[in-house]
Amino acid sequence: MAETALSAATAELSPVENMLARARAFAAPLIADETLDTGENTLAHADAVAAIVAHMGGSEAMQAASYLVYSCQHLNRPQEVIAKVFGDNFASLAVETTKLVQVQAQARTAAGAGHLLEGAGTQTENVRKMLLAFSRDLRVVMLRLASRLQTLRYAAQIKTPVPENLARESLQVFAPLANRLGIWQVKWELEDLSFRFLEPETYKLIAQLLEEKRAEREGYVEQLRLQLEQDLAAEGIRATVQGRPKNIYSIVKKMRGKSLDFAQVFDITALRVVVADVKDCYAVLAWVHSRFQPIAEEFDDYIARPKPNGYQSLHTVVRESAPAGGSGMGIGAGGRPIEIQIRTEQMHEHAEHGVAAHWAYKEAGTKGYAGVWAGGEYDAKIAVLRQLLAWERDLSGGEQAKGLFDDRIYVLTPDAAIVELPQGATPVDFAYSVHTSLGHRCRGARVDGAMVPLNTPLSNGQTVEIIASKEGGPSRDWLNAELGYLASNRARAKVRAWFNALVTHETIARGREAVEKLLQREGKTALKLDDLAARLGFKTADQLFEVVGKDEFSLRSIETLLRPAEPAPPADEGVSIKKSRASDKSSGGVLVVGVSSLMTQLAKCCRPAPPDAIGGFVTRGHGVSIHRKDCSNYRTMVSGHPERDIEVAWGNTKGDVGAVYAVDVAVEAADRQGLLRDISDVFAREKMNVIGVQTQSVRGTAWMTFTIEITDANRLSQVLGTVRAVSGVRSARRR
């Protein structure tokens, strides 16, 4: 009934009546007796917001929207009622702005309670981006700026402190936004008021040190601006001169950023000169320095040496120094220093609209004034806001503007922490963004208190609560793009990683089982698995199990390690010695010193070849086994049965040109495509026949064993040097 009466009352106004009066008449019955959380009367607040919007250049239609925003919470169907009276455009603007107000209030409450999902800096950055991305109508931003300024004005008027998180949000979010929009007066007032509530004692001290009032300071700057512009024009230099009076907060930032006393802050008053080209920049600089006394240590040439973010300008500070016979023009009167910035129109456009905009390069937090890029992800998109006031007049009767950051959305946790997600993100994306474990265990979700399917796309400002199991993992359906469970590449990668880890775990378990069964068969269950892996060239037992589980490493290699060629004849048994055939090349021309016609065989554990130092060990029934002197098996056997050791030497092999010896070469290298081919090519070029190859690759490292035929071990040493020169090879040695 109340909504019907409101519509009827508003309808009594002629359609041609101004929009502002219609909106106020609509809202007054709803909000005239209401108060905001600050204690301010809601209608009085709306009146003030409309006045601020008008001062900023907003149209009458935009001023009217100030009243509709505060009416929403008192209507059962605000979208429908406001649309019926004022149109869909105003209804969407009012509803979206109201929702944003509520979301920001939740975020401040969470910040005050210490429930931030991430750090305070991240939360502030997300609040800022949410403010820009929340609504499809850019006028929301202007309305929020005006409302926040009025809130601070009211608190200052009644001399009541505002909550710290509200003052800090005003300083870190709203003031920089006003700066980006070019609304300097709003920026300065937001900064000063916020700082006044955050640090009242410091604010009071600086205010006392400033002997002139703000109006007087601004008047002084205007006088200087006009005078400099006229003098440059007389010199034939076409320039636009702008004044830059400092507000209290800017002075404090300068003092803290450069560790200066108040008397050392040289740019309390500043001028900016904008000219047509670079040549004129230096012409203005030369003229200023010829007329006035420059302070050398305060000169910076950012045109010749731009800042890392691309910012370019000439910065200089001068004092009055009138030329002989002249009176001077009064700049720096009384010795007061004035900072002058000189730049081209293009440089100024970049500084105002591009990545080097004022708040991006000077609001670097604790890093101060070192020219450090302050971060943020706004890039060129934010420059669109510069057209807001002009667009607003066109949009008041037309289609809504398209919002910024159309590829991002901002949703809330139950504790009102803000989470940034890609457009189209689902509750599963949200869960993985909060924590990987929460994503794996996600089983359901509530959005704004209502249960929804896990593939439901989320929207700006929604509150998402995840229902998770105590344990478990993701579903393979989540990786099916057609089912729409995941929009975030980051979340998709986490799901894939979980399944890859699961496969790896199963492979390791399979490999462990195979190795343990082999050790049981060999009676080596007491052998430590890590020691076994190390002896096989692996860093950990799991690496060994993984390659065994993948069938990339033969269990026969483990058997060979566990069963070396070690004879164990009884001490009282005789030695059976057989003659070797003249045609048998297994001896390789080995002579047994003091004994003739003994059968010899080259041991496979060390594969000796001339001119290696060799020794013989008499085996049971297999003649003399020939080993290299440095062979660990040989030393072990001789220490146990010294009576079996026999002296041997290489015979004269000149008459046997075809005598060859098989040796093993171990190569370790960074695994890559074509590695085996490149190493094999080396042996082929050196005319060494490769008769066997074993390879294994574990986590990017390849271990290779080549069995090759050689005639001389010395020749092999030279070839191994060539192998080591192959790309990726870390070591190449004879086994």
pLDDT in tens, 550-605: 777 778 778 777 765 545 444 433 333 333 333 334 445 676 765 655 678 888 88
From start to end of 304-457, where are the E strands?
314-319, 338-344, 408-412, 418-422, 442-447, 450-452
Contact 404, 381 (CB under 8 A): yes
Q: Is the pLDDT of residue 278 over 80?
A: yes
- One domain for residues 40 and 159: yes
Q: Which position has the higher pLDDT, 124 or 325?
A: 124
Tokens describing residue 200: 């009242």
Quickly tell me which residue has 């900023």 as its tokens.
Answer: 56
- One domain for residues 432 and 536: no
pLDDT in tens, 372-406: 223 333 333 333 343 444 334 443 444 444 444 45
The strand pairing partners of 646, in sequence order, are 616
**CA separation for the pair 169, 145 (Å, rounded):** 12
Residue 553 is assigned to a structural domain of this protein: yes
Residue 578's pLDDT is 35
Amino acid at 546: E
Q: Is the pLDDT of residue 445 over 80?
A: yes
Annotate 637-670 with three-state secondary structure: HHHHCHHHEECEEECCCCCCCCCCEEEEEEEEEE
Average pLDDT over the chain, rounded to whole? Answer: 76
Contact 338, 315 (CB under 8 A): no
β-pair type (624-628, 600-602): parallel
Q: Which position has the higher pLDDT, 599 or 72?
A: 72
Residue 360 is assigned to a structural domain of this protein: no
CATH of residue 670 = 3.30.70.260
pLDDT in tens, 149-158: 999 999 999 9
**CA separation for the pair 565, 631 (Å, rounded):** 12
DSSP-assigned letters across all residues of 379-399 = GGGGGGGGGHHHHHHHHTTSP
Contact 132, 404 (CB under 8 A): yes
Three-state DSSP at 66 gives helix
Distances 658 to 164, 520, 589 between C-alpha atoms, Å? 93, 44, 11
**Domains of the chain: total:** 4
Q: Is the pLDDT of residue 459 over 70?
A: yes
Q: Is the pLDDT of residue 333 over 70?
A: no
Lowest pLDDT segment from 364-378, 492-506, 597-611? 364-378
Residue 702's pLDDT is 85
Residue 378's pLDDT is 35
**CA separation for the pair 454, 531 (Å, rounded):** 48
Q: Is the pLDDT of residue 415 over 50?
A: yes
Residue 631 is assigned to a structural domain of this protein: no
**CA separation for the pair 295, 432 (Å, rounded):** 56
Residue 286's pLDDT is 92
Q: Is the pLDDT of residue 299 over 60?
A: yes
* Integer-rounded Cα radius of gyration of the chain: 42
Contact 329, 291 (CB under 8 A): yes
CATH of residue 448 = 3.10.20.30
Distances 411 to 127, 452, 604 between C-alpha atoms, Å? 11, 15, 69
Q: Which position has the higher pLDDT, 13 or 200?
A: 200
**CA separation for the pair 364, 374 (Å, rounded):** 4
Residue 43's pLDDT is 93
Residue 150's pLDDT is 94
- One domain for residues 440 and 531: no
**CA separation for the pair 70, 41 (Å, rounded):** 11
- One domain for residues 5 and 127: yes
> How does DSSP classify residue 516?
H
Residue 361's pLDDT is 33
- One domain for residues 168 and 86: yes
Tokens describing residue 702: 């390849």
CATH of residue 67 = 1.10.3210.10
Residue 478 is assigned to a structural domain of this protein: yes
- One domain for residues 516 and 466: no
Residue 585's pLDDT is 40
Of the candidates 174, 129, 139, the residue with the CA atom closest to the CA atom of residue 68: 139
The strand pairing partners of 628, in sequence order, are 614
Give the CA count within 13 Å in the CB-facing half-sphere of 548.
24
- One domain for residues 681 and 542: no
Residue 118's pLDDT is 45
Residue 344's pLDDT is 93
| Size (the chain), residues | 735
From start to end of 163-282, where are the E strands?
240-243, 270-275
- One domain for residues 68 and 130: yes
Residue 55 is assigned to a structural domain of this protein: yes
Distances 374 to 104, 130, 133, 317, 410 between C-alpha atoms, Å? 23, 18, 20, 25, 22
- One domain for residues 55 and 145: yes
Amino acid at 618: V
- One domain for residues 21 and 84: yes
Residue 121's pLDDT is 54
Final residue before a domain boundary, out of 198, 216, 237: 198
Final residue before a domain boundary, out of 562, 589, 610: 562
Q: Give mean pLDDT, residues 524-539.
A: 83
**CA separation for the pair 623, 599 (Å, rounded):** 5
Contact 681, 734 (CB under 8 A): no
**CA separation for the pair 595, 603 (Å, rounded):** 20
Q: Which of 125-129, 329-333, 378-382 holds the top average pLDDT?
A: 125-129
Q: Give mean pLDDT, residues 345-351.
A: 77
Residue 634 is assigned to a structural domain of this protein: no
DSSP-assigned letters across all residues of 105-159 = HHHHHHHHTT--SS-HHHHHHHHHHHHHHS-SSTHHHHHHHHHHHHHHHHHHHTT
Lowest pLDDT segment from 1-15, 570-584, 626-640, 674-688? 570-584
Q: Is the pLDDT of residue 331 over 80?
A: no
Provide the pLDDT confidence category of residue 265 given band limits of 50, 70 and 90.
low
**CA separation for the pair 488, 428 (Å, rounded):** 9
Residue 682 is assigned to a structural domain of this protein: yes
Residue 280's pLDDT is 93
- One domain for residues 441 and 536: no
Residue 124's pLDDT is 57
Contact 132, 181 (CB under 8 A): no
Residue 3's pLDDT is 53
Any long-range contacts for 310-314 (C-beta under 8 Å, 24+ apart)? Answer: 310/350, 310/354, 310/355, 310/356, 311/350, 311/351, 311/356, 311/361, 311/371, 312/343, 312/347, 312/350, 312/351, 313/341, 313/342, 313/343, 313/347, 313/351, 314/281, 314/282, 314/285, 314/341, 314/342, 314/343
**CA separation for the pair 615, 60 (Å, rounded):** 107
**CA separation for the pair 48, 604 (Å, rounded):** 97
Q: Which of 78-82, 176-180, 520-524 holds the top average pLDDT?
A: 78-82
Contact 631, 602 (CB under 8 A): no
Q: Is the pLDDT of residue 332 over 50?
A: no
Final residue before a domain boundary, out of 487, 518, 540: 487
- One domain for residues 131 and 173: yes
Residue span of the structural domain in which 531 resides: 498-562
Provide the pLDDT confidence category of residue 107 given band limits of 50, 70 and 90.
low
pTM of the entire structure?
Answer: 0.47
Provide the pLDDT confidence category of residue 115 given band limits of 50, 70 and 90.
very low
Distances 438 to 95, 254, 413, 472, 495 between C-alpha atoms, Å? 33, 44, 13, 10, 12
Residue 456's pLDDT is 93
Provide the pLDDT confidence category of residue 342 given band limits of 50, 70 and 90.
very high
Q: What percentage of the chain carries pLDDT values higher than 70?
A: 73
Tokens describing residue 416: 């009102």
Tokens describing residue 308: 């890392």
Residue 470 is assigned to a structural domain of this protein: yes
Give the CA count within 13 Å in the CB-facing half-sphere of 217.
18
Provide the pLDDT confidence category of residue 451 given band limits of 50, 70 and 90.
very high
Lowest pLDDT segment from 133-137, 248-252, 715-719? 133-137
Three-state DSSP at 264 gives helix
> How does DSSP classify residue 581?
P
Three-state DSSP at 165 gives helix
Contact 491, 432 (CB under 8 A): yes
**CA separation for the pair 495, 683 (Å, rounded):** 46
Q: Give mean pLDDT, residues 163-178.
A: 83
Instruction: Indicate the helix (H) or strand (E) that contains 408.
Output: strand 408-412
Residue 711's pLDDT is 81
Contact 692, 685 (CB under 8 A): no
